[in-house]
């Protein structure tokens, strides 16, 4: 507002200076010739202009112009404010949508990655479990075979040496008390049973 007032005041000041200058130049010239009608007309018009556009009228024009200018400025400011609000709102919506979209994409990727990793982990765990189960079965089979072999070996060893073990205990218990005379019948019985074999053996050996 202030700048417009200063501008209008400057224009009016220049107009006044122009009028004064023109007046002094025209009045100082010698009136050698008779005034022309066109000159009179213009002079008259200038006077009328001066009369019509006096200071009050100019002040009123300035006030009207200032008000109109303020009104336009206010309207534009209001439009600008509305545009700014609308733009801000749209920008907010846009940013919200963009952020939401980007976040959804990222979350989708993240979820997909998590799902993939989870599937891989489950797959790995399942394979590991299968391998462990297979190894367990193999080990169980080996252990059972080893246990069976050991058991059979122990039983075989026991069977093989049982006679010796019992013989050892009999010997330890009554070995010193067995009379050879009492064994003679037993010995002769065996000799009789194997007589032919002994005979054949000695004949063939001799």
Partner 1 sequence: MELKLPPSLTTKQDLTRVHRELQVFNDLSLQSVMRHDKPVKYPAISDSLREVAVLNQIDLRQENACKKLLDGLEVLKEKAIIIRISFSSDPPEEILQKIVIWFRKEIDQHIVIQVGLQPTIAAGIVLSTPNHQYDFSLRQHLYKNRNKLIEAL
Q: Quick one: 56 or 179, whose CB is closer to partner 1?
A: 179
Q: Which of 3, 36, 38, 181 binds partner 1 (CB under 8 A)?
A: 181
Q: Quick one: 139 or 170, whose CB is closer to partner 1?
A: 170
For residue 187, state whether it binds partner 1 (rule: CB under 8 A).
Answer: yes
For residue 64, state whether it binds partner 1 (rule: CB under 8 A).
Answer: no
Please name the residue ranges forming H helices in the chain.
2-28, 37-52, 55-174, 180-193, 195-205
Q: Quick one: 47 or 168, whose CB is closer to partner 1?
A: 168
Q: Quick one: 40 or 162, whose CB is closer to partner 1?
A: 162
Q: Which stretch binds partner 1 (CB under 8 A): 103-111, 113-121, 129-137, 175-183?
A: 175-183
Q: Quick one: 99 or 170, whose CB is closer to partner 1?
A: 170
Q: What are phi and psi of 178, to 5 degrees?
A: -80, 120
Write the DSSP string, 156-167: HHHHHHHHHHHH
Query: Which residues have CB under 8 Å from 69's CB, separation 6+?
Result: 1, 4
For residue 3, state whether it binds partner 1 (rule: CB under 8 A).
Answer: no
Q: Is the dihedral of CA 81, 87, 88, 90 positive or negative?
A: positive
Q: CA–CA separation, 173 vs 128, rounded Å?
A: 61
Q: Is 76 helix (H, G, I), strand (E, B) or coil?
A: helix
Would you say 8 and 69 are in contact if contact means Cβ atoms under 8 Å apart? no
C-beta of 146: minimal distance to partner 1 in Å? 24
- The count of residues in the chain is 206
Q: Which of 24, 79, 107, 190 binds partner 1 (CB under 8 A)?
A: 190
Q: Is the dihedral of CA 26, 29, 30, 35 positive or negative?
A: negative
14, burial (CB in 10 Å: exposed 0-12, middle 13-18, buried 19+): exposed
Q: Quick one: 35 or 172, whose CB is closer to partner 1?
A: 172
C-beta of 162: minimal distance to partner 1 in Å? 6
> Pattern 127-166, binding to partner 1, x per CB under 8 A?
--------------------------------x--xxx-x
Can you give the binding site for partner 1, defined by CB under 8 A?
159, 162-164, 166-168, 170-171, 175-176, 178, 180-181, 183-184, 186-188, 190-191, 194-195, 197-199, 201-202, 204-206
């Amino acid at each position: 507002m202030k700048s417009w007032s200063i501008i209008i005041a400057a224009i009016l000041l220049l107009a006044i200076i122009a009028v004064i200058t023109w007046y002094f130049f025209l009045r100082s010239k010698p009136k050698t010739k008779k005034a022309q009608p066109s000159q009179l007309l213009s002079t008259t018009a200038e006077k009328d202009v001066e009369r019509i556009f006096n200071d009050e009228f100019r002040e009123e024009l300035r006030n009207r112009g200032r008000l109109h200018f303020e009104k336009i400025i206010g309207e534009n400011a209001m439009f600008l404010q509305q545009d700014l609000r609308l733009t801000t709102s749209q920008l907010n919506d846009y940013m919200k949508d963009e952020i939401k979209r980007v976040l959804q994409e990222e979350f989708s990727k993240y979820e997909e990655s998590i799902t993939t990793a989870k599937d891989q982990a489950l797959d790995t765990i399942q394979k590991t479990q299968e391998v462990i189960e297979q190894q367990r079965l193999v080990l169980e089979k080996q252990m059972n075979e080893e246990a069976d072999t050991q058991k059979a070996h122990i039983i075989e060893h026991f069977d093989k040496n049982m006679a010796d073990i019992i013989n050892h205990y009999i010997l330890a218990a009554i070995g010193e008390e067995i009379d050879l005379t009492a064994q003679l019948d037993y010995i002769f019985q065996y000799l009789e049973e194997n007589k032919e074999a002994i005979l054949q053996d000695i004949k063939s050996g001799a």
